[in-house]
A = this chain, B = another copy of it.
């Protein structure tokens, strides 16, 4: 990393654990610095000191606590400050909690403005209609259309449900109205002048997390972000379990659809509250999700996605009115659900490709994008040609199939560091450990490997007498385990233990990513040496420690490649489509040009998988 040269009046801000350093002027708020550093940190109330969510751990020259901080922070929280409140008075060391990063695509939405020209499908026109008399008996709708024509707007259709309200609405403010225009439709006719109130929401429907970002469609400005757990998690952690849930149940599909719609509506309420925006003034929403999530959202039975030969019902994008799905923005508002590519390459991957611009023909570089969520998708691009594959890499990282695995929520061990014979664990929420999440699992694997407690085949060696970790290596049945948090560090006195099987699960995920990448390289006819850039999206962009990931070889080594984290790129894709009709066209094109590679159909897959399970870089 290039060393920053310090000018007068400037101080150095260092981010931990990454070690990244940037320079800032004295007196600026820590929030400004954090935003400049593109850490992906979220400021739900927009930096007004209202929500108390932007807690950071600090050391160094900082201003005194503000009244807002006194309200939100207990005095016992050593070094914990609100980043939006505190001003810089000297060199500072900052640690951002991964919790305040997960699920929030701030880093990307900031990128969005520079990536797309804000030109949304939705705009508003104000009209003062001439009032009717015996000389002017033209019908209400034609009266509006005639005036719109004068403004250069013609040929738009109008839904019957809107026509039903027409006569009343146009007379409420003496024939003064604002017309909300979509690309092919009139989406609203409102009394009076409502220009300037034109909003949209971009949704990322993850298997585990649902994120919504509220934007001003006129300016492209981001207003608020909100994320909640996908309530379908209660039915099953992964998509296959959910598909199995609906199969024998008449109402199963309806239940799963209504759960996700409820979650969306919860987010709509939160976002409009945060942004002080009326739901009626939200006219558009875009949705990215994996193929199964998008089927559920649309109420389409995805059963064949779980059955050989894994065929989706639809991969085309879908445009429907908000009311038709029960999404409680303006009922006439438009929903755009991204096109899918294949059974396990969904609209979220289209979003990643859109956001990372790796589909452009003029692009001379060979790029690889890896998006790890609950599933793992890999895309390789070369001069506009795109090949992609899906791997079942995700479950290990989200806690599934790991004996004491859990999602990245309160009580999860998210960070592990072995230091001078001590084990330092970072627990989300700061309390006692309840289990381990994906980032913790990668950390511990990396540390176990460094300390030779496991070998590169993943085998946990039995403890030797002189071993400093002797106490922690125990036997369960025929295999060895490692006690990560002892009784006294753990909730209800239950220690968190890493089993041999847990390491194997991680290795399987690693092997799958490795095999996927190798088969795509083969398909494209390039070798690893030729790859110019590796883009890490999803979990990599937020809570996984890249050093640990590299040390166990979770991403194989690319000698010449620059490795870049792009965070929740899928969500950024949804944002781009929301504010730019050009981006929608690109998304459509992407979905038709991407070549899907079915890994299971490759004769080398099993061999590559085993090869890739080796721990350490490969």
**Cβ-based interface call for A577 (8 A):** no
Q: Report the separation of the CA atoms of residues A133 and B309 in the bound assembly, to the nearest whole angstrom.
A: 5
- The reply to whether A313 and B139 form a contact with Cβ atoms under 8 Å apart is yes
CB of A16 closer than 8 Å to a CB of B = no
- CB-defined contacts of A598 to chain B, threshold 8 Å: 134, 137
Residue of B whose beta carbon sits closest to that of A143: B311
Interface digits, A177-195 against B, CB 8 Å rule (1 contact, 0 not)?
0000000000000000000
CA distance A308 to B314 in the complex (A): 51
Smallest CB–CB gap between A182 and chain B, Å? Answer: 15
**Interchain CB contact under 8 A, A313 and B141:** yes
Interface pair B132/A309, CB less than 8 Å apart? yes
Given the known interface contacts A301-B167, A324-B160, the answer about A311 and B141 at a Cβ–Cβ threshold of 8 Å is no
Complex interface: chain B residues within 8 A of A313 (CB): 139-141, 163, 166-167
- Closest CB of chain B to A595's CB: distance in Å? 12
Asked if A231 CB lies within 8 Å of chain B CBs, one says no
In chain A, positions 148-195 with a C-beta closer than 8 Å to chain B are 160, 163-164, 166-168
B316 touches A164 (CB 8 A): no
Number of this chain's copies in the complex: 2
Distance (whole angstroms) from the CB of A168 to the closest CB of chain B: 7
Residue A318 contacts which of B133, B160, B168, B303 (CB distance < 8 angstroms)?
B160
Please name all residues of chain B whose beta carbon is closer than 8 Å to the beta carbon of A139 when the two chains form the complex: 311-315, 340
A-B contact sample (10 more), CB < 8 A, given A137-B310, A139-B314: A134-B309, A139-B313, A140-B313, A141-B313, A160-B298, A160-B299, A160-B324, A166-B314, A167-B304, A168-B301
Task: State the A residues within 8 Å of B (CB).
Answer: 132-142, 160, 163-164, 166-168, 298-301, 303-304, 308-316, 318, 320, 324, 340, 342-343, 596, 598, 600-601
Query: Could you write out 27 A-B pairs with CB less than 8 Å apart?
Result: A132-B309, A132-B311, A133-B309, A134-B308, A134-B309, A134-B598, A134-B600, A134-B601, A136-B309, A137-B309, A137-B310, A138-B315, A139-B312, A139-B313, A139-B314, A141-B315, A160-B324, A163-B300, A163-B314, A163-B318, A164-B298, A164-B299, A164-B300, A164-B301, A167-B303, A167-B313, A168-B301
